[in-house]
Amino acid sequence: MNITDIPVEGYERVARCIDEASGLHALIAVHDTTLGPALGGMRLWNYASEEEALTDVTRLARGMTYKSAVADTGLGGGKCVIIGDPDKVKSPELFRAMGRFIDNFGGTYITAEDMNIGIADLLHVKETTEHVAGLDREHGGSGNPSPYTAYGCVVGIETAAAYRYGSKDLSQKHILLQGVGAVGGEMARLLKERGARITICDIKDDRVAQLCAEHGYESVDEASHLSLDCDIYAPCARGAGVNDETIPQLKCDIIAGCANNILLEPRHGDVLREKGILYAPDYVVNAAGIINVSVERHPGGYNEEVAMEKINRIDDNLTEVFKLADDEGIATNRAANRLAEIRIEAAKQLQ
């Protein structure tokens, strides 16, 4: 196993691991541990290059720092990615090697589930490191984070609706969800329960057809979904979907989804503000998964009642972001960053 540190300005540690025996090629980024050890999920993706993977892992790690700071989880921000085809590279040996890589960080990084990684995979990781969270209840964890993330995103959508329309009532609102995987699919169900008109799209046509048949959703083609008029647009797939090319196509009042890094660049938040589109910053809205996992670290172990109480505070945190943005005349993504930085700096002063 060959572990090499990669200097990245502004990050506490970024490292690469190549393990020929298992086929592992992975990166871990720890952005900031001021508020506690860095916790962030493990992502397996067939990146085109290590450079692309490095961009993704560092962006995600920084986002986790800010997410945890705003959500008051008592954790810092980190992330790890495994480079490879999810249908080809998975093996117990690969995940055991990944555990040894995580263990090399000495507890400053804790992993959990993310894209293409399940509890079965994490159990192999746990064979070689104790720094694993988000396992199922049987193994002492908080269980699958997806339902909690979905619920928290719905809380965020209701908060954004209240700020824009003056009411959390979604019964007359048309919501477009792009990406209906574990989180997006559950969001669609919860939003329909609240009376919203739901239109979905996904790169997996069979998944869309199944959900429409089961729940009566409307659907739109993934390639042309931005041409659809809606009240609320919920991006729930990969990030960077709001950019110079897509912003002119948007026909919505609010953007609030579960995807990470929805904006390609911070300046796109400024453009949304100029266009009068209320953007609910992704890491504030989708924080429920990390909030739920963070409760595993509480004295006495995981308590779902405590977790749900903290998840419902997404309403307060997001409202604070919106008010800060209005008070200072800045985009909501910049206001969210400002709020996170204030909390991190306050912790540094105490230390």
Give yes or no: 251 in active site.
no
Q: At what angle do helices 314-328 and 50-71 cross, to 10 degrees?
A: 100
Q: Could you tell me the two tokens for 299?
A: 């004295």
Angstrom distance (rounded) from CA 143 to CA 133? 9
254-255, strands of its sheet edge to edge: 218-219, 197-201, 174-178, 232-235, 254-255, 278-279
Give the type of residue at 169: D
> Among 338, 153, 146, 114, which residue's Cα sits nearest to residue 255?
153
DSSP 296: G
Q: Is the dihedral of CA 263, 269, 270, 272 positive or negative?
A: positive
Angstrom distance (rounded) from CA 20 to CA 187? 40
314, 284 contact by CB (below 8 A): yes
DSSP per-residue codes, 297-346: GSTTS--HHHHHHHHTTHHHHHHHHHHHHHHHT--HHHHHHHHHHHHHHH
Residues involved in catalysis: 79
